[in-house]
Structure formats: structure tokens, C-alpha cells
Amino acid sequence: MLKLILLFLLTTNNYIVCQPPYEPTWASLETRSIPDWYRELKFGIFIHWGVYSVPAYGCDNANAAEWYEHYLMDGRQCLLDFHAQNYGAETPYREFASAFRAELFDPDKWADLFQRSGANYIVLTSKHHDGFALYDTPFSPNWNSVEVGPNRNLVGDLFDSMRKRTNMRLGLYHSLMEWSHPLYVSDIANGTRNFPESHLLPMMRELVEKFNPDIVWSDGEWDRTYQYWGSTQFLAWLYNESPVRDHVVVNDRWDMNRPAQCERSCVHTVESEAGGFDPDHIWEECRTMSNPLSWG
């Protein structure tokens, strides 16, 4: 038995040594194939949830309730009128967090429902473009679901129930951008990279290490280049060092010119576009159940 154990250890060590690390370049990252397990999933459930579900309002042609904060900042008149009439013109978006209670949230019931649906995976918004995190994190102080609103770790509670009650794969959506984060606003004005270096990249590493997601679903890439986001640095870490490095799957939203930089190693994503995918690549089409179009 001892010889067998030693043989296994030696074989394992040799295998690890023989694997070259991925470099933070697209040429290197593109040598990684999408893990085979993803091809068998076929059907999943995307859960778009956050502070924006309190006003739950969109207007004009977009109708995207999850963009409520952006429309306030942008001065979209139809939303300004709605906001003034229902909450007061001077009420800041952040005050919605205290009303975001999630009091009916029962993760066990959610897990049972998802399992019965026939879905094989879920993706939950851990943080949308407003920066509100559905878990405890020092990178969003007083702007996360543990410190304000529900006072519970929504991501952790759901993942715990899913892992106990289902055999489904678990994914986390994470927005690269944050509309009103001071560092992000400053970077755009000054051509700096303080937001990704001090906030985004360490926050994403923390997210992966905390929850071990099977899928990392990036979004908000269209505003800046991959060089700004530090996308290749994060992906190299994800594939080389993270606890999910051997099986994790990522989508293609890492650069404003997507998917040009991420052809082979990323799942190509489209939204409510029947036939909008390239059949030569592994793809995912997301559709919202709401009409008119809104994700949150």
C-alpha cells in the first residue's frame, strides 16, 4: 500500500510540474480548452437580483430596471419623473438598500425548485454595475447584503443549499464596471487604473476563493479595454492558482472588443438573440422572462 501511495504522489507531482503555467496573454490563455462538462449542461437559470429590485422600474425603450442608478445619473427624464413622484427627487439610489430585505428568500426552496425544473446550472449576480454585493466583502463596505438590507450572505446561503440539495453546477456573475465607484469615475477622468488594481481584481479573486464557482460570468466589459480591466492577469491567476483552476468555465466578456480576444477558451454569450451565435463556438443565449426587456 505504501508503494502505491508513493507512486501516486510521484505521478501527481510529475504531472503538475509538466503543466506549463498560463501567461497573462491571450495567446497563452487561448491554449486552454473549455472543460468538457460544460457541453452537457444545455439548460440553466440566470438569477438577476439586487437593490434595483426595490424600485423595479425601467422606462423608454430600454426598460432595464437594473440600470436604475445609471438612468438617475444620466438624467433620463422618464425615470427622474418616476423617482421624484415615488421617492422624492433628492432621495439617493443607495437608500434603496435598506428596503432590499429579501425576507421571503428561502434558499432550500429555491434549490429544490431549480432541481425540479430540469436545469443543470445556475448563475447568480454577485455584483451588478451598481456595485452592491450579495455577500460579505471588505471591498464594498456598507454596500453589501450582510451589512445593509437583508443582513445575510445571499450568495453563500444559496450556494450552501444548492450544494446540499442538488448536483447542479454553480456560477457567479460579476460586473467589471461600477458606475458610481469613486476610483472608477476618477480613472475615466484621469486615464489611470486605480479601480481595477485596488478594487476589481482583488475583489474577484476574493469571490472565487470564497465560493469556488464552477462558472465565472463577467459583464460590463464594453466600457474599457482588457488592458484596463486587467482581464488577462485575472484569467491567468484563475487558471494557474485559483481553487477552481482545473474545471472553471468563463464567458467572453473581458474586453470592449469582445469576443475578438477570447475565441476558443471562453463561452460566447448573447442575450435574447435567436441565431445570434456562431455555431463553431460553444455558446450560451440568455433570455429574460420579462416583457418589455428587463433583467432585474
Q: Over the stretch 140-163, which tens digit does the pLDDT of each residue have?
A: 999 999 999 999 999 999 999 999
Query: Nearest 10 degrees: CA dihedral of 114, 235, 187, 224?
Result: -80
Q: Over the stretch 272-290, which tens digit does the pLDDT of each residue have?
A: 666 666 777 888 887 777 6
Q: What is the pLDDT, as a whole number, of residue 288?
A: 74
pLDDT of 3 > 50? The answer is no
Q: Over the stretch 36-65, which tens digit does the pLDDT of each residue have?
A: 999 999 999 999 999 999 999 988 766 688
Domains and CATH numbers, the chain: 25-50+100-286 (3.20.20.80)
Element (H, E) at 173: strand 169-175
The Cα–Cα gap between 174 and 187 comes to 20
Are 193 and 225 in contact by the 8 Å Cβ rule? The answer is: no
Other C-beta atoms lying within 10 Å of the C-beta of residue 264: 14
The Cα–Cα gap between 181 and 204 comes to 16
Q: Over the stretch 112-132, which tens digit does the pLDDT of each residue have?
A: 999 999 999 999 999 999 999
Burial class (CB in 10 A: 0-12, 13-18, 19+), 251: buried
